[in-house]
């Protein structure tokens, strides 16, 4: 977030509303209404003095209305921009012309009650819509009793209750006069989702099963072993990467899962205990008491989405989400306008982030010829060398308004700091971070020839980059800077012990100054970038990524192991929205074969690779010949396929098929009596504890096809949970309406298939009828697990990790879903996890977008905080090479010395493992050298 | 390019919505050579995710 706020090429327009977009793709004019903030952003330094004086309390929407805030506010501590705003609906000055306290309190004169609404016009080439969603509001539906009973809360409210920064500081308490720790909490699933009767939302919201499990686990963590969480559900939809394991963990940790339909919620008026009445799977009526009920509310289209859509002339789908095609994900009905995230439909964070990057990729493709035209770069003065200078430390102690100054004795800290070694200059500021203080600081550094700077203030987490920039403006290397955290780690925690806080602040300043004396200037590192790309795997994902890069001018080689492009998609007829996959596939294959910037190598495989971001060398075998490819980035798209099985007579009886082989068998069948689909064959068990994600939808679609051709054929789907997540739920509903029979089975009680002459006999226990059924099936189709290709060689070549199920492991499951920890290599498609075509396409575009960040530059700057090896001390034992997870240290032959460790700066993440492992202490981490760290520890002693 | 006009494209993009998705789009574009206007309805960016306590399946902090 801070990165966005500080980016020189991102301009934030807050309190803005888009009125219209005129023009054509490549050259639009957007008209934006900017509402007044009543606070001058350039002057506000976020000291919070105004809030203390504001008399007007308002319910806080950030904390789901659970507590109050003032009429002048920031949404939360870490808000970007960290600038206060006045809520014009509640401000006494703006509504009644009374008060005016904040104007008096503001030390910088930032308050401006006279600000007016502005109309802005901006010129742009493309638009991305990502306005999110609205949580379902249960208050209009009396069956949930949300408005009647206090202890019925929504999941959003419960998130705030769990949060350490929330209204109860993370303590879970019931909402009543004498709040207590709840012993039993129930989560009710599908509130406002999968519900055509009341809420009229037929789709599944995709995320609520998982967040309910998460909330129940965290609640359990907080409340201990006597706490009993229960989840009332229809199907648990844990269809994402590593979700199934999370679900299994919850079961083990004592979360109760009750497959049921809840019919009433009532309250004992005396004890305020809540009672849930429900129907079990077998139709039994039950009731149970709870202290609290959390409604797992779904997501609905943003009310303003409709407005935006109208204003911009784009189409919405039947659920009021922005309409896109499966085979052109994130593209709206208007050329040049893209969409991402829940505005397009319900999805979780990783998938939303994937779409965000995919939308950026589309925009980049559209505007490729204008890349670089409008960006600005920050310019800094030439850096002064401090070589051979003795340390001259400047210390700036911040009052942070009353945050520090109101507790610690800042004057005495300043006097103390003056007595420390090497200190030349000490001053205090009311707010060190304010714009004018920063300008001032830069002057002071130059005037006093300071060469090390210490700021004693809030926290480096939010403010270090700002101060480092000030150093650069003054001609100093940014690493000659140290911060003493005397607010977050001192005055905030010791607000009641003023003297101790002052003493601790002095110690912290002493430590920082001791370390600062030893800080060294560290030059920037930049590496040149080769602008060619490599895609490993020629399925939908690999081809899509290659075409996206090629159209932006980056030459891409596709290395495909088999003798054909297309991969798993070759056997798929249509997407879940009935779009024709084969025509699409033929089209992209033809484009790849004919694009001047795409080279297709069939019968080719990667053998090994070396190098680092911007500079990879990959060896391949192509038609038996060895070749070397030089490339700047790599995209891993090796996909996967349906596994075979030994179960259910597969391979022994030709009437048992798997996946899309069913179509051939079915084509030959003449008016069959009974057809059975068995789900989760080899998925979600001990060997493969994951859900293959696409099979429920695939079988439901096949079942519908059967019903269409032979309405009288009985179709059975034997399942464990039906996971037609998101808008695919509609297919499930259609299948039930068409008479497809769904029978749930358990892992402990799997169906049994035996081969008869005329029929295959399927025995399965029906939990609704509570009896064994015998089905005489003509055909059985198995949804076997989807497993990744054999990825070991590739993983070793580029130092990539795979998870326990052999899918490639991304850098961060949520926030970096296509990056690897190895810079310059990206993952997409089934190589990452099983997913439907539309998600593979989006992820391939996302990978291309991330790759473009590198390929669009001739050189990239990397963090210079890396390891450095002292070749004199090194004995070449190679321990460091072994511990490094990033292949950032190698052994090289040094003449006359033998093997010596060598660091590869571009690959080094600065983790320090190598330094810690070296028996010779031959490795030091720049900026965190042993002597620097010890200096501050010794100062504290 | 199928468009007939001669005029060059404009190297700037408007992203509407400053939640986690908008921020990601904005960063990708700004880091690859485009100027970005990030338009947000409320007074600061962050959206829904800033409101979550921890997020599945890694249970790490949402910020
Ligand atoms: C059985 C099955 C049924 C499906 N049904 C549906 C459905 O009904 N609807 C839907 O939307 N989606 C469905 N999917 C998902 C859909 O097929 C995928 O989302 C999409 O095709 C994945 O494309 P990909 O490029 O990631 O992988 P793949 O299509 O698997 O392509 C990977 C390619 O990489 C090659 N390769 C592998 N290893 C190497 C290597 N080391 N070096 C070089 N090349 C290598 C492979 O030969 C292959 O050509 C299904 C998937 C499967 C497996
Ligand atoms: S099934 Fe879908 S709508 Fe229902 S709770 Fe689970 S994720 Fe939400
Ligand atoms: S059939 Fe496939 S999608 Fe459905 S629950 Fe089983 S593994 Fe998941």
Residue closest to A609 by CA, chosen among A623, A587, A629, A637: A629
Shared domain for A793 and A783, answered yes or no, is no
Domain extent for A82: 2-131
| A513 in any annotated domain | no
**Res. A536 pLDDT band, cuts 50 70 90:** very high
Note the pLDDT of residue B62. Answer: 42
Which residues of A fall within a CB distance of 8 Å from B11?
A: 125, 367, 370-375
CA distance A797 to chain B (A): 27
> Measured between CB atoms, which of B21, B45, B48 is closest to A353?
B21
Is the CB of residue B58 less than 8 Å away from at least one CB of chain A? yes
Q: What is the pTM of this model?
A: 0.90
Same domain as A647, residue A628:
no
Are residues A912 and A851 part of one domain? Answer: no
A3 pLDDT more than 80 = no
H or E element that contains A294: strand A292-297
Examine residue A521 and state whether it is found in any structural domain, yes or no. no
Domain CATH code at residue A150: 3.50.50.60
Task: Indicate if ligand 2 lies below 6 Å from the C-beta of A348.
Answer: no
By CB atoms closer than 10 A (0-12, 13-18, 19+), residue A820 is buried
Q: State whether A261 and A202 are in the same domain.
A: yes
Residues of B in contact with A62 (CB under 8 A): 51
How many Cβ atoms sit within 10 Å of the Cβ of residue A861?
Answer: 10
**A875 shares a domain with A856:** no
Q: Which atom of ligand 2 is nearest to the CA of A189?
A: 5
Residues of B in contact with A160 (CB under 8 A): 51, 53
What angle do the packed helices A498-517 and A410-418 form, to 10 degrees?
Answer: 30
What pLDDT does residue A47 have? 79
Nearest to A372 by CA among A883, A871, A853: A853
Tell me if residue A50 falls in helix, strand or coil: helix
> What one-character DSSP code corresponds to residue A114?
T
- What are phi and psi for residue A697, nearest 5 degrees? -60, -40
Query: pLDDT tens across A721-743, in order?
Result: 999 999 999 999 999 999 999 99
Q: What is the mean pLDDT of residues A610-636?
A: 96
pLDDT band of residue A810 (cuts 50, 70, 90) is very high
- What's the total number of domains in chain A? 7
- Alpha carbon nearest to ligand 3 atom 3, residue: A693
From A249, A281, A300, give the residue that closes a domain.
A300
pLDDT digits (tens, 9 = 90+) for B3-62: 445 678 999 999 999 999 999 999 999 999 999 999 999 998 887 666 555 666 555 544
- Residues A43-69, mean pLDDT to the nearest whole number: 85
Task: Tell me, yes or no, whether A815 lies in a domain.
Answer: yes
Q: Residue A523 domain-assigned?
A: no
Whether residues A152 and A283 share a domain: the answer is: yes
A146 and A294 in a single domain? The answer is yes
Closest atom of ligand 2 to CA, residue A237: 6
Which among A122, A170, A355 is the nearest to B14, CB-wise?
A: A122
Q: What b/e readout covers A449-479, taking b as 16+ CB neighbours within 10 angstroms? A: ebbbbbbbbbebebbeeebbbbbbbbebbbb
- Chain B contact for A231, CB < 8 A? no
Closest Cβ opposite residue A375 in set B3, B26, B35: B35
Yes or no: say if A308 and A131 are a contact pair by the CB < 8 Å rule. yes
Beta bridge partners of A301: A133
Residues 37-56 of chain B with CB under 8 A from chain A are: 37-56
What interhelical angle do A498-517 and A930-940 show, nearest 10?
150
Residue A735: inside a domain: yes
Would you say residue A920 lies in a domain?
yes
| Distance from the first to the final alpha carbon of chain B | 40
Would the CB atoms of A364 and B32 count as touching at under 8 Å? yes
Residues of B within 8 A of A217 (CB-CB) are 59
Q: Which pLDDT belongs to residue B54?
A: 60
Chain B, window 8-37: residues with a beta carbon less than 8 angstroms from a chain A beta carbon? 8-37
Residue after which a domain boundary falls, among A736, A767, A787: A787
CA distance A230 to A601: 54
What ipTM was predicted for this assembly?
A: 0.89
Residue percentage of chain A with pLDDT more than 90: 83
Q: Sort out which chain B residues have CB atoms less than 8 A from A5's CB and list them.
A: 45
How would you label A114-138 residue by residue, b for 16+ Cβ within 10 Å and e otherwise?
ebeeeeeebebbbbbbbbbbebbeb
- Of B16, B58, B63, nearest to A814 by CB-CB distance is B58
Alpha-helical (H) ranges within A742-867 are 792-798, 837-855
Q: pLDDT digit string (tens) for A359-413?
A: 999 999 999 999 999 998 888 899 999 989 999 999 999 998 788 999 999 999 9
HSE, CB side, 13 Å, CA atoms: give it for residue A135: 22
A205 & A164 share domain = yes
Q: Is the CB of A358 under 6 A from ligand 2?
A: no
Distance CA A492, CA A77 (A): 13
Q: Does A89 touch chain B (CB under 8 A)?
A: no
How far is the C-alpha of A675 from the C-alpha of B61, rounded, in Å?
Answer: 47
Same domain, A328 and A241: no
Q: Tell me, yes or no, whether A238 and A108 share the same domain.
A: no
Give yes or no for residue A789 CB within 6 A of ligand 1: yes
Per-residue pLDDT band for A520 (boundaries 50, 70, 90) equals: very high
Contact A361, A850 (CB under 8 A): no
């Amino acid at each position: 977030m801070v990165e966005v706020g500080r980016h020189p090429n991102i301009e934030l327009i807050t309190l803005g509303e888009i009125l219209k977009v005129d023009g054509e793709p490549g050259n639009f004019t957007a008209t934006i209404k900017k509402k007044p903030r009543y606070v001058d952003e350039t002057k506000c330094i976020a000291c919070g003095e105004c809030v203390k004086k504001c008399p007007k309390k308002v319910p806080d929407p950030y904390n789901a209305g659970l507590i109050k805030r003032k009429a002048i506010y920031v949404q939360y501590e870490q808000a970007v921009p960290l600038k206060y705003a006045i809520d014009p609906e509640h401000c006494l000055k703006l509504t009644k012309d009374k008060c005016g306290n904040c104007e008096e309190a503001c030390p910088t004169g930032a308050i401006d009650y006279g600000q007016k609404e502005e109309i802005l016009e901006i010129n742009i080439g493309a638009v991305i819509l990502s306005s999110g969603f609205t949580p379902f509001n249960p208050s209009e539906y009396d069956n949930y009793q949300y408005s009647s009973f206090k202890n019925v809360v929504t999941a959003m409210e419960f998130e705030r209750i769990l949060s350490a920064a929330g209204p109860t500081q993370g303590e879970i308490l019931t909402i009543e006069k004498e709040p207590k720790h709840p012993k039993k909490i129930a989560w009710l699933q599908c509130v406002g989702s999968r519900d055509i009767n009341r809420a009229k939302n037929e789709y599944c919201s995709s995320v609520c099963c998982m967040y309910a499990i998460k909330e129940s686990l965290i609640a359990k963590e907080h409340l201990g072993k006597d706490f009993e969480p229960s989840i009332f559900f229809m199907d648990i939809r844990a269809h994402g990467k590593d979700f199934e394991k999370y679900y299994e963990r919850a079961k083990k940790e004592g979360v109760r899962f009750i497959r049921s339909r809840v019919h009433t919620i009532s309250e004992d008026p005396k004890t305020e205990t809540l009672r849930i009445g429900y129907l079990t799977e077998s139709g039994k009526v039950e009731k149970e008491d709870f202290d609290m009920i959390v409604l797992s509310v779904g997501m609905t289209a943003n009310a303003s989405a409709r407005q935006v859509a109208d204003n911009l002339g784009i189409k919405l789908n039947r659920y009021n989400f922005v309409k896109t095609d499966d085979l052109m994900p994130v593209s709206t009905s208007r050329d040049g306008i893209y969409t991402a995230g829940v505005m397009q439909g319900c999805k979780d964070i990783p998938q939303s982030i994937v779409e965000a990057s995919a939308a950026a990729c589309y925009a980049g493709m559209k505007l490729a010829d204008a890349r670089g035209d409008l960006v600005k770069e920050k310019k800094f003065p030439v850096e002064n060398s401090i070589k051979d200078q003795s340390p001259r430390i400047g210390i700036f102690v911040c009052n942070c308004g009353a945050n520090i100054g109101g507790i610690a004795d800042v004057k005495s800290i300043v006097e103390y700091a003056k007595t420390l070694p090497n200190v030349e200059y000490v001053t205090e500021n009311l707010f060190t971070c304010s714009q004018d203080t920063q300008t001032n600081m830069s002057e002071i550094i130059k005037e006093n020839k300071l060469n090390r700077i210490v700021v004693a203030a809030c926290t480096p987490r939010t403010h270090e980059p700002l101060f480092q920039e000030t150093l650069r403006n003054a001609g100093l290397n940014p690493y000659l800077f140290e911060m003493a955290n005397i607010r977050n780690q001192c005055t905030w925690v010791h607000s009641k012990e003023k003297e101790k806080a002052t003493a601790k602040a002095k110690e912290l300043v002493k430590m920082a100054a001791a370390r600062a004396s030893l800080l060294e200037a560290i030059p920037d590192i930049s590496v040149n970038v080769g602008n060619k790309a490599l895609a490993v795997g020629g399925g939908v994902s690999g081809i899509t990524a290659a075409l996206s890069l090629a159209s932006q001018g980056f030459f891409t080689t596709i290395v495909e192991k088999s003798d054909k492009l297309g991969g798993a998609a070759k056997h798929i007829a249509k997407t879940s929205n009935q779009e024709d996959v084969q025509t699409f596939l033929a089209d992209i294959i033809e484009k790849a074969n004919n694009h001047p910037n795409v080279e297709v190598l069939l019968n080719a495989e990667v053998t090994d690779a070396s190098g680092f971001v911007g500079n990879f060398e990959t060896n391949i075998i192509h038609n038996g010949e060895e070749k070397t490819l030089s490339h700047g980035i790599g995209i891993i798209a090796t996909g996967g396929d349906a596994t075979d099985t030994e179960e259910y007579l597969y391979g022994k009886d030709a009437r048992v098929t798997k996946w899309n082989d069913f179509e051939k068998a079915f084509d030959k069948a003449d008016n069959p009596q009974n057809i059975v689909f068995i789900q989760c064959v080899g998925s979600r068990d001990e060997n493969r504890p994951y859900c293959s994600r696409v099979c429920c939808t695939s079988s439901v679609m096949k079942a519908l096809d059967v019903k269409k051709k032979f309405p009288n054929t009985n179709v059975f789907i034997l399942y464990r949970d039906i996971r037609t997540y998101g808008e695919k739920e509609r297919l499930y509903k259609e299948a039930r309406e068409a008479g497809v029979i769904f029978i749930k089975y358990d892992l402990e009680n799997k169906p049994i298939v035996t081969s008869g002459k005329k029929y295959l006999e399927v025995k399965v226990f029906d939990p609704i009828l509570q009896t064994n059924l015998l089905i005489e099936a003509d055909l059985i189709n198995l949804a076997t697990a989807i497993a990744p290709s054999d990825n070991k060689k590739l993983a070793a070549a580029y130092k990539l990790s795979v998870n326990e199920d052999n899918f490639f492991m991304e850098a961060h499951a949520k926030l970096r879903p296509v990056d690897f920890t190895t810079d310059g290599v990206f993952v997409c498609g089934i190589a990452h996890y099983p997913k439907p075509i539309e998600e593979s396409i989006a992820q391939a575009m996302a990978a291309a977008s991330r790759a473009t960040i590198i390929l669009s530059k001739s050189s990239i700057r990397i963090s210079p905080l890396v390891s450095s090896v002292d070749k004199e001390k090194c004995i070449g034992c190679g321990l460091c090479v072994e511990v490094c997870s990033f292949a950032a240290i190698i052994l090289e032959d040094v003449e006359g010395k033998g093997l010596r460790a060598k660091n590869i700066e571009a690959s080094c993440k600065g983790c320090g493992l190598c330094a810690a492992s070296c028996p010779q202490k031959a490795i030091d981490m720049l900026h965190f050298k042993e002597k620097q760290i010890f200096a501050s520890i010794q100062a504290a002693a | 390019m199928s468009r007939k006009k001669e005029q060059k494209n404009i190297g700037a993009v408007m992203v509407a919505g400053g939640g986690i998705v908008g921020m990601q789009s904005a960063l990708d574009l700004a880091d690859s050579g485009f100027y970005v206007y990030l338009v947000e309805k409320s007074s600061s960016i962050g959206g829904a995710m800033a409101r979550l306590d921890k997020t599945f399946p890694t249970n790490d902090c949402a910020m």
